[in-house]
């Protein structure tokens, strides 16, 4: 009988060891299978950005240009005159290619949503005609439909100038095909339509086939102490503490200008659903520029995106844009429950105006007021009448406090 407890302990030890071995074996198998799947499908998870591949992409672009498949005002400089010169690859993201180049001594960025021209949807009517007999009105109608499909906007012929400037000539098919590939890229449409109306978007320089060129600006980074590399904007000789504080104040005011501009100055409100330093840049005059608008939507498109089936509020979150779930009908509300200002306060201003960033240049009471205003602004709310009034109050208060900060900094000089 005395041996029974010892036998039980032995069985327990054996069982524990077996369980541990099985657990280790399961973990090892999981790691091996996961690694194999990752290696097998590595292109799904990420795509390595290399100079070699970028050179191949541009070489293929020029091959298509030489064959007459595509055209553009930058093709000759890129493919023949060598006045548009590749510098290095910036990033690849879910098929999107972003490349830095030098054009006639000016740094620029080349962008395309897809790598190869033939990957874009082809315009079938180009195969059905041999001469330039496609009516201009028919082409304009197709452009308008594509814009409506991409952005949810209805445009008149008079507003489509930046998107459609067809010139008759021997290369008209390549011109129309190139235009059609660009119209399948929402970001290109945004930048083109807003060129003459907004200082807060990138300036388009030109295009070649499905690649379009925009001005070069250095993006922000969450790990950067000031979020944006101020030495590129105000110069390395002016990056002392006082200059940084003044620059951050000016940039914060430009963010508020951008919020008010996107909310009020277009036919529909423009919603930014991916707000982070990496999607913005600063010009030399400290103007904030949205450099990546893949996740920007005008009101009609935003409502379509948000109005989905749901079982709770978490189902109504679309990156930085979210609405509320109506549990009675199990459907997300079409109206966004937060707004651009709230997210900017949360993701940008909190970093600048947190308690650990106090300094002697601005009075302590003003610093505390700014911190409190930013914290209140960053709190999500409802977009009813009361919520809208709260947003307007936050916007007005932040404008006032930042302008007072500017005045204090000027007196301290």
Chain segment 151-173, per-residue pLDDT in tens: 888 877 666 667 766 666 778 88
Between CA 183 and CA 204 the distance in angstroms is 14
**What confidence score (pLDDT) does residue 308 get?**
95
Show the tokens assigned to 213: 């060129």
More confidently predicted of 320 and 234: 320
**What confidence score (pLDDT) does residue 231 get?**
83
**Average confidence (pLDDT) over 3-16:** 59
Chain segment 74-124, per-residue pLDDT in tens: 999 999 999 999 999 999 998 999 999 999 999 999 999 999 999 999 887
More confidently predicted of 410 and 289: 289
With 70 as the cut, is the pLDDT of residue 193 above it?
Answer: yes
Shortest CA distance to 343 belongs to which of 370, 313, 381, 315?
381
* 8 Å CB contact between 357 and 248: no
Residues carrying CATH 1.10.510, the chain: 219-412
More confidently predicted of 10 and 219: 219
**Percent of the chain at pLDDT above 70?**
82
Shortest CA distance to 279 belongs to which of 288, 287, 270?
288
**What confidence score (pLDDT) does residue 20 get?**
64
Q: Which CATH number fits domain 219-412: 1.10.3470, 3.30.60, 1.10.510, 1.10.3820?
A: 1.10.510
More confidently predicted of 349 and 165: 349
CA angle 322, 325, 329 (to 5 degrees): 145
**What confidence score (pLDDT) does residue 44 get?**
43
**What confidence score (pLDDT) does residue 38 get?**
37
pLDDT band at 270 (very low <50, low <70, confident <90, very high): very high
Chain segment 13-58, per-residue pLDDT in tens: 666 666 666 666 665 655 444 444 434 443 444 579 999 999 999 9
With 90 as the cut, is the pLDDT of residue 278 above it?
Answer: yes
**What confidence score (pLDDT) does residue 238 get?**
59
Lookup result for tokens 């109506």: 326
**Percent of the chain at pLDDT above 90?**
63
Between CA 260 and CA 170 the distance in angstroms is 46
Question: What average pLDDT is seen over the chain?
Answer: 86
């Amino acid at each position: 009988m005395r041996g029974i407890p010892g036998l039980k302990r032995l069985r327990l030890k054996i069982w524990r060891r077996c369980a541990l071995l099985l657990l280790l074996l399961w973990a090892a198998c999981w790691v091996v299978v996961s690694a194999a799947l990752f290696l097998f499908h590595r292109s799904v998870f990420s795509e390595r950005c290399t100079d070699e591949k970028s050179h191949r992409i541009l070489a293929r672009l020029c091959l298509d240009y030489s064959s007459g498949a595509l055209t553009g005002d930058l093709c000759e400089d890129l493919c023949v005159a060598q006045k548009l010169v590749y510098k290095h690859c910036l990033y690849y993201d879910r098929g999107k290619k972003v490349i830095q180049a030098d054009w006639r001594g000016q740094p620029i960025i080349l962008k395309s949503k897809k790598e190869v021209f033939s990957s874009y949807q082809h315009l079938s009517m180009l195969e059905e005609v041999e001469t330039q007999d496609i009516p201009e009105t028919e082409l304009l109608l197709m452009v308008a439909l594509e814009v409506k499909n991409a952005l949810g906007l209805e445009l008149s012929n008079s507003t489509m100038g930046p998107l459609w400037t067809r010139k008759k000539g021997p290369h008209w098919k390549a011109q129309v095909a190139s235009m059609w590939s660009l119209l399948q890229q929402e970001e290109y449409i945004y930048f083109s339509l807003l060129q003459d109306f907004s200082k807060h978007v990138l300036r388009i320089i030109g295009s070649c086939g499905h690649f379009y060129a925009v001005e070069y600006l250095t993006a922000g980074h969450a790990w950067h102490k000031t979020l944006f590399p101020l030495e590129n904007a105000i110069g390395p000789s002016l990056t002392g503490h006082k200059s940084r504080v003044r620059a951050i104040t000016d940039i914060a005011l430009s963010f508020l200008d951008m919020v008010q501009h996107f909310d009020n100055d277009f036919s529909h409100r423009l919603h930014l659903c991916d707000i982070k330093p990496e999607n913005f840049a600063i010009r030399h005059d400290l103007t904030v520029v949205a450099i990546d608008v893949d996740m920007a939507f005008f009101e009609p498109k935003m409502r379509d995106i948000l109005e989905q089936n749901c079982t709770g509020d978490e189902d109504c979150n679309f990156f930085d844009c979210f609405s509320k779930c109506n549990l009675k009908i199990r459907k997300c509300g079409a109206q966004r429950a937060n707004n651009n200002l709230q997210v900017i306060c949360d993701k940008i201003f909190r970093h600048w105006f947190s308690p650990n960033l106090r300094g002697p240049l601005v009075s302590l009471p003003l610093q505390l007021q700014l911190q409190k205003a930013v914290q209140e602004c960053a709190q999500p709310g409802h977009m009813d009448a009361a919520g809208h009034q709260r947003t307007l109050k936050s916007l007005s208060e932040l404008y006032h406090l930042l302008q007072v900060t500017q005045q204090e900094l000027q007196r301290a000089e």
